[in-house]
Structures are given as structure tokens and as C-alpha cells.
Amino acid sequence: MKVLIVVSALVIACYAQRLQEEQYEKEFQQRNQLKETTTWIPILKYNKEQSQDGSYKTEYETGNNIVHEETGFLKDFSETHPNGVLVQHGQYSYQAPDGQTVNVQYTADENGFHAVGEHIPTPPPIPDEIQKGLDQIYAGIKQQEEESAHRAKSDPEYAKKLEARQQANAKGLYYHEE
């Protein structure tokens, strides 16, 4: 009986060893396949000019038809922007999988990133009926603000409530009158 247990344990150990070797071999083959799929793409052109005032110009071109040019400079040194604001203008192009060349021109500054290109979708125009409704809503809000400002001039208590409401709105809070 002891011999049967020892032989069974040896058979199981050998089988487990063989399964483990097969698993390692599969993982090794998968790693090699990942390494083989990387394609080297040459950089055909690269130029960078940096000035003492913080302005720069960069351009490069790669072997897979990516072309990029960018200029940047600092502006608006003020109390709100003690280090200035970086303004970047540039353009890049690349070849899409369908073979079409995609061109993008962009500006990045204190107002965010703005890209322009034929491939970038644009929203459809707002229908006239909806625009009229939006105009009426805006006119009603403006009229209500004017009436509140006029009333606040003659009623100091209302002026305090109006000021509290405006401060709450500026903070994104809900104003509740008591």
C-alpha cells in the first residue's frame, strides 16, 4: 500500500512538472511575439530653437509621414499671471489608416486648446425655433436682473438678499431665503 502511494505521488509530481514547463513555454512564446510586433520608425528631421525670452520653435518629421511644427512664447506678465501665459501655435499632419492625410492647426493659451481641421466634426446649426426660445429665455433673465437691481436701489433689505444670492451663485451654491 505504501508503495502504491509513493508511486502515485511520483506520477502526479512528474505530470505537474510537465504542465508547469508547458505553461512557461507558452508565456515565453507570447512575450517573444510582443517584441516582434514593434516597428522602428526613423526620425527624418528634428529642429528645436530655444530663446532666452522663453519663446521657441520646434519641428520634426518621422518616417511614417508625421509632420509637426510648433512655436511658443510667453505673454501677459501681470498680477494674475506672474509667470506669464504660454501661448503655443502649431500644426501637425499624419496619414490615417484609410490613407487620407489629416491636417490639424491648433492654438493653446489661457483660453484652452483649440484645434481646427477638416476631420473634426462640427455641430449642426441650431434650428430657428430653438434659437428663438433661447433668446426669449435670455431676455427674461436679463429683464429679471434689471428689475432686481432697480428694486435693490430702493429696498436695502432686498439688496442684502440679492447680494447673498449673487455670492451663493458665484460659488455654485443654492440660495435659500428664510
Position with higher pLDDT, 27 vs 116: 116
Please give the angle made by the CA atoms of 164, 170 and 171, to the nearest 5 degrees: 95
Backbone angles phi, psi at 51, to 5 degrees: -105, 160
pLDDT surpasses 70 at 32: no
| pLDDT, average across residues 122-146 | 93
Q: What Å distances lie between residue 159 and 86, 166, 173, CA to CA?
A: 41, 10, 19
Report the sign of the C-alpha dihedral through residues 97, 98, 99, 103, in that order: negative
pLDDT surpasses 60 at 117: yes
Closest CA to 175 of 151, 148, 155: 148
Helix (H, G, I), strand (E, B) or coil at 110: coil
Average pLDDT, the chain: 86
Q: What is the pLDDT of residues 38-60, one digit of tens each?
A: 788 999 999 999 998 889 999 99
